């Protein structure tokens, strides 16, 4: 029987009959069309019909009184990224419009709202963010601008003693410098606001995303195109309604969720492969870099993926050209060179992640046990607000993996993950750079990653120390301080050795790439040299050397005994104080 013949009876049942039978037919039609949607890779021509069925289901649920649905508060921390914030909110609006979760009362979506937690330092960014929030509210998506003034008002609800007791959670910031506090502190302050909002909402779910993400997905074989192919809110409502999940995390597709500090080695491998291939091409011939390639699954973008239990990629990845118009190999090389600079903002031109539906799934993704929170894509019930972002004032990276280990230690399988990714886009198209990224400093042609590199290294130290301590019963059982110190020192030594080994490998790969570029037989060194391409490569290689070479400031920082001692002391102090911080926080949430 053909696919249309199978769908036709379901659509006929949808057109008449009791609401209960129509809803059953609608669910069956969605499941069937969802299977066809991914039968041979994504079939985007089926998306309008698929989305329409979801909207029809929402109408049937509303008329049939099938019990309360969850209300979603989508929380978006942002700092000086108005363009990316607009794209993020626009995608949430489109998700609601296309799939219709929770319905619409004629003015606003009834069960979806957004809260923008603004940590911007520029007055023009704050003004732009405020206008963006007001605009989306007018369009039908209620959006609260939780700016610095409102944040300070929230903190003023606490006594001076309470603020002092919570300093390791919400930080200490003077009123005239109440910005760029960091995403972790920003989330924790927002938790205080959410605690009160939850009391006013019906079955609230708090859904945290990042401002450089959208509710689209990328599918292999569709190039740079992205699609609204997942009804995130419906799936989350279903997953939280079944079982006893308290915290649920998704992942991302598109750009990697990790720092360039841990991607340089494999990107240099991929760049070398690209130059080796294109060097043997006729620069005037049609581009040959559009064949489908493997996606960067299982942390293939991470130079030390094995640390996280993933198998290290055994071979370089082939570049996938993203140009859509007809072009030759020379233009492909120019485009690759133009994308090199985006690496320092966290984009990875050769290792893009794609969405793959769960095999055999009919009614959406299931859940599995989790160990890492993706802080740009996680949802929780109000009772999980007790799990604040740990060690926030230290400003380290890896906050999500650390939080995940502590949540797993606290609630076990009630912490779950689901295949509900968001599209991660580190940069804006106009500049090829992020609007704002802490820890990365640009001056003329120089990009300095030393701040982010240091935060990444000691974030790794924190993570793997916590992993070892939770295996011993932490935080329920507090080890002796000497045991914590010994664990920290051992973890730091092991990681510093790994980082140093990787530095040596990067140096060798860097030299190999320079040799390829300088090859006098390569066509780009002859008359056909593309304008600006060699300069773009030279800038990239100089910045790689600046950040990963023998004189790199980041490596000097992590190798300096005094700095290392101070950082380890901070981490030890935070670890020993964490159980007490948890008790103080829970007491505060109860008030």
Based on the domain organization, do 92 and 228 belong to the same domain? yes
Based on the domain organization, do 146 and 55 belong to the same domain? no
Weakest-pLDDT range from 201-215, 433-447, 459-473: 433-447
- pTM here? 0.94
Based on the domain organization, do 391 and 409 belong to the same domain? yes
Based on the domain organization, do 157 and 240 belong to the same domain? yes
Closest CA to 112 of 188, 48, 203, 26: 203
Residue 405 burial by Cβ neighbours in a 10 Å radius (0-12, 13-18, 19+): buried
What is the predicted pLDDT for the residue at 528? Answer: 54
Pairing, β 213-214 against β 422-424: antiparallel
Q: pLDDT band for position 65 (50/70/90)?
A: low
Query: Do the domain assignments include residue 80?
Result: yes
CA dist., res. 173 & res. 442, Å (int): 26
pLDDT, tens only, 145-157: 999 999 999 999 9
What is the predicted pLDDT for the residue at 247? Answer: 98
Query: Do the domain assignments include residue 436?
Result: no
| Mean of all residue pLDDT scores within the chain | 91
CA dist., res. 378 & res. 407, Å (int): 13
Query: Do the domain assignments include residue 10?
Result: yes
Q: How far is CA 14 from the centre of its chain?
A: 38
Based on the domain organization, do 37 and 161 belong to the same domain? no
Query: Do the domain assignments include residue 58?
Result: yes
385, 410, 431 - which closes a domain: 431
pLDDT, tens only, 161-209: 999 999 999 999 998 999 999 999 999 999 999 999 999 998 999 999 9
Based on the domain organization, do 57 and 161 belong to the same domain? no
Predicted confidence (pLDDT) at residue 302 exceeds the cutoff of 90: no
Query: Do the domain assignments include residue 161?
Result: yes
Greater confidence, 476 or 8?
476
pLDDT, tens only, 396-412: 999 999 999 999 999 99
What CATH number is attached to the domain comprising 227? 3.90.550.10
Q: Print the SS3 string covering 342-366.
A: HHHHCCCCCCCECCCCCCCCCCCCC
Q: What is the percent of the chain with per-residue pLDDT over 70, rounded to a whole number?
A: 95
Determine the average pLDDT of the residues in 255-281. 92
Residue 243 burial by Cβ neighbours in a 10 Å radius (0-12, 13-18, 19+): exposed
Predicted confidence (pLDDT) at residue 257 exceeds the cutoff of 90: no
What is the predicted pLDDT for the residue at 294? Answer: 59
Determine the average pLDDT of the residues in 68-93. 97
Greater confidence, 430 or 579?
579
CB-based contact 69:233 (threshold 8 Å): no
CA dist., res. 286 & res. 289, Å (int): 9
405, 431, 457 - which closes a domain: 431
Predicted confidence (pLDDT) at residue 120 exceeds the cutoff of 50: yes
Q: Which domain holds residue 224?
A: 71-257+355-431
- Using alpha carbons, list the distances in angstroms from residue 526 to 254, 274, 287, 328, 540: 35, 18, 19, 17, 21
In this structure, the number of other CB atoms found within 10 A of the CB of residue 294 comes to 14
Determine the average pLDDT of the residues in 72-93. 98
Based on the domain organization, do 36 and 175 belong to the same domain? no
Weakest-pLDDT range from 7-16, 41-50, 533-542: 7-16
- Using alpha carbons, list the distances in angstroms from residue 443 to 440, 447, 449: 10, 7, 12
What is the predicted pLDDT for the residue at 297? Answer: 60
Angle in degrees, 0-180, between the axes of helices 450-471 and 399-411, rounded to the nearest 10: 10
Query: Do the domain assignments include residue 204?
Result: yes
Determine the average pLDDT of the residues in 349-370. 85
Predicted confidence (pLDDT) at residue 233 exceeds the cutoff of 70: yes
Based on the domain organization, do 158 and 187 belong to the same domain? yes
Based on the domain organization, do 107 and 138 belong to the same domain? yes
Greater confidence, 531 or 516?
516
Determine the average pLDDT of the residues in 294-303. 68
Based on the domain organization, do 140 and 23 belong to the same domain? no
- In the chain, how many domains are there? 2
CA dist., res. 75 & res. 207, Å (int): 6
Predicted confidence (pLDDT) at residue 293 exceeds the cutoff of 90: no
What is the predicted pLDDT for the residue at 5? Answer: 58
CA dist., res. 46 & res. 209, Å (int): 27
431, 452, 483 - which closes a domain: 431
Query: Do the domain assignments include residue 480?
Result: no
Based on the domain organization, do 88 and 127 belong to the same domain? yes
What is the predicted pLDDT for the residue at 2? Answer: 44
Determine the average pLDDT of the residues in 101-115. 95
Query: Do the domain assignments include residue 104?
Result: yes
pLDDT, tens only, 275-290: 999 998 999 999 999 8
Residues 6+ apart with CB under 8 A from 549: 507, 510
- Using alpha carbons, list the distances in angstroms from residue 514 to 509, 522, 525: 9, 12, 13
Based on the domain organization, do 107 and 14 belong to the same domain? no
Collapsing DSSP to helix, strand or coil, 323 comes out as: coil
């Amino acid at each position: 029987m053909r696919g249309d013949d199978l769908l036709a009876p379901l659509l006929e049942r949808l057109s008449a009959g009791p609401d209960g039978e129509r809803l059953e037919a609608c669910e069956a039609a969605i499941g069937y069309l969802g299977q066809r949607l991914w039968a041979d890779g994504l079939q985007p021509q089926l998306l309008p019909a698929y989305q329409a069925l979801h909207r029809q289901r929402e109408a049937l649920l509303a008329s049939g009184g099938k019990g309360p649905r969850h209300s979603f508060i989508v929380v978006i921390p942002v700092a000086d990224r108005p363009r990316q914030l607009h794209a993020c909110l626009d995608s949430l609006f489109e998700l609601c419009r296309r799939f219709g979760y929770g319905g619409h009362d004629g003015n606003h979506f009834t069960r979806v709202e957004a809260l923008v937690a603004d940590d911007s330092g520029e007055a023009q960014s704050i003004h732009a963010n405020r206008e963006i929030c007001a605009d989306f509210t007018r369009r039908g998506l209620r959006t609260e601008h939780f700016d610095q003034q409102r944040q300070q008002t929230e903190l003023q609800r606490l006594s001076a003693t309470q603020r002092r007791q919570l300093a390791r959670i919400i930080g200490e910031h003077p009123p005239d410098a109440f910005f760029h506090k960091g995403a972790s502190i920003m989330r924790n302050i927002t938790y205080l606001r959410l605690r009160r909002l939850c009391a006013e909402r019906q079955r609230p779910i708090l859904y945290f995303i990042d401002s450089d993400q959208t509710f689209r997905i990328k599918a292999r074989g569709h190039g740079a195109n992205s699609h609204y192919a997942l009804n995130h809110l419906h799936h989350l409502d279903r997953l939280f309604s079944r079982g006893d999940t308290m915290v649920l995390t998704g992942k991302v597709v598109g750009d990697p969720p990790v720092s360039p500090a841990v991607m340089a080695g494999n990107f240099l491998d991929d760049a070398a492969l690209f130059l080796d291939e294109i060097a043997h091409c006729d620069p005037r011939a049609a581009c040959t870099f559009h064949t489908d390639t493997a996606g960067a699954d299982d942390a293939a973008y991470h130079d030390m993926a094995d640390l996280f239990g993933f198998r290290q990629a055994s071979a370089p990845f082939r570049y996938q050209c993203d140009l859509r118009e007809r072009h030759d190999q020379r233009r492909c090389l120019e485009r690759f060179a133009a994308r090199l600079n985006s690496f320092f903002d966290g984009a990875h031109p050769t290792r893009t992640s794609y969405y793959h539906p769960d095999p055999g799934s009919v009614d959406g993704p299931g859940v599995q046990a989790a160990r890492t929170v993706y802080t740009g894509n996680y949802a929780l019930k109000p009772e999980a607000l007790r799990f604040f972002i740990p060690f926030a004032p230290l400003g380290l990276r890896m906050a999500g993996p650390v939080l995940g280990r502590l949540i797993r230690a606290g609630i076990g399988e009630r912490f779950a993950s689901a295949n509900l990714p968001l599209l991660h886009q580190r940069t804006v198209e106009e500049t090829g750079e992020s609007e704002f990224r802490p820890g990365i400093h640009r001056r003329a042609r120089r990009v300095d990653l030393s701040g982010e590199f240091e935060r990444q290294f000691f974030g790794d130290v924190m993570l793997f120390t916590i992993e070892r301590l939770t295996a011993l019963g932490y935080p329920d059982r507090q080890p002796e301080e000497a045991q914590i110190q010994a664990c920290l020192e051992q973890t730091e030594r092991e990681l510093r050795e790994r980082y140093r080994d990787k530095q040596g490998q990067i140096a060798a790969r860097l030299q190999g790439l320079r040799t390829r570029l300088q090859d006098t037989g390569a066509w780009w060194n002859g008359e056909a040299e593309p304008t600006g391409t060699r300069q773009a490569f030279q800038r990239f290689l100089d910045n790689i050397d600046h950040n990963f070479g023998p004189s790199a400031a980041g490596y000097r920082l992590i190798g300096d005994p005094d700095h290392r001692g101070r950082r380890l002391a901070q981490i030890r102090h935070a670890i020993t104080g964490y159980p007490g911080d948890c008790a103080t926080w829970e007491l505060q949430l109860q008030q």
